[in-house]
Amino acid sequence: MKKNIVVTGGTKGIGRAIIEKFASEGFNIATCARNEQDLQKLERDISKQYSVRVITSVADVSKKEELSRFLTKVKENFTDIDILVNNAGFFIPGAINEEEDGVLESMIETNLYSAYRTTRAFINDMKMRRKGHIFNMCSTASIIPYINGGSYCISKFAMLGMSKVLREEMKAFDIRVTAILPGATLTASWEEAELPEERFMKSEDVALAVWGAYTMSDRTVIEELVMRPQLGDI
């Protein structure tokens, strides 16, 4: 029987790379994003290339109602969730004292609350089965604040905090919780950067790290995994 993975924000960047990797290993996929055309293309490409089921739903995860529709659709199609990757997030540069009103709330809703709500939707089933692995996509911004990081750093610090709490809570239920902390990765967030491609990590490398953490024995869990470009932070 094929296993099932849920990845929020799966049409681009790290999320897409994770889906590609796990689909290649025979996992059924469930994902959401805001763009319907991107989701349709992903569904066609992945299901055709890897012969797995792909469940998609248009959803802005910062909106509770839209996220709830996605989670309901997943439960209607997949009995068990083996892996959850809380990947959806976005970045707006700015300083705390200069950001527009509402930027913090927007990033907290997307980068933190969506992960909190998605986790709560599946965690009780994982606890009952005493099986599952939750990956929270944090950032090096979760541990080192930087100028012009503002609300993004705040939201990612909070995401790492949630991951640490969840790790402690899930120990007794044999559920693994891993925080991934990638540095600059070549995704849409860096499209405007005037830097050579080689200066960034590949999304595929982050996906390989997630796969490696998952495939370790049940006796081992990677609690936090920090990844940076070879030449360091940007």
Q: Which residues are catalytic?
A: 152
Distance set, CA 60 to CA 88, 106, 155 (Å): 9, 11, 17
Q: Hey, what are 178's tokens?
A: 């891993």
Distance set, CA 25 to CA 2, 8, 178 (Å): 10, 19, 20
Residue with tokens 């998952």: 214
Gap between the Cα atoms of 228 and 231, Å rounded? 8
Gap between the Cα atoms of 9 and 42, Å rounded? 12
**Alpha-carbon torsion angle 83, 186, 190, 56, nearest 10:** -40
Distance set, CA 122 to CA 10, 72, 82, 205 (Å): 18, 11, 10, 27
Gap between the Cα atoms of 223 and 132, Å rounded? 14
Burial profile 27-37: b = 16 or more Cβ within 10 angstroms, e = fewer: bbbbbbbbeee
Residue 25's Cβ-count burial label (10 Å; 0-12, 13-18, 19+) is middle
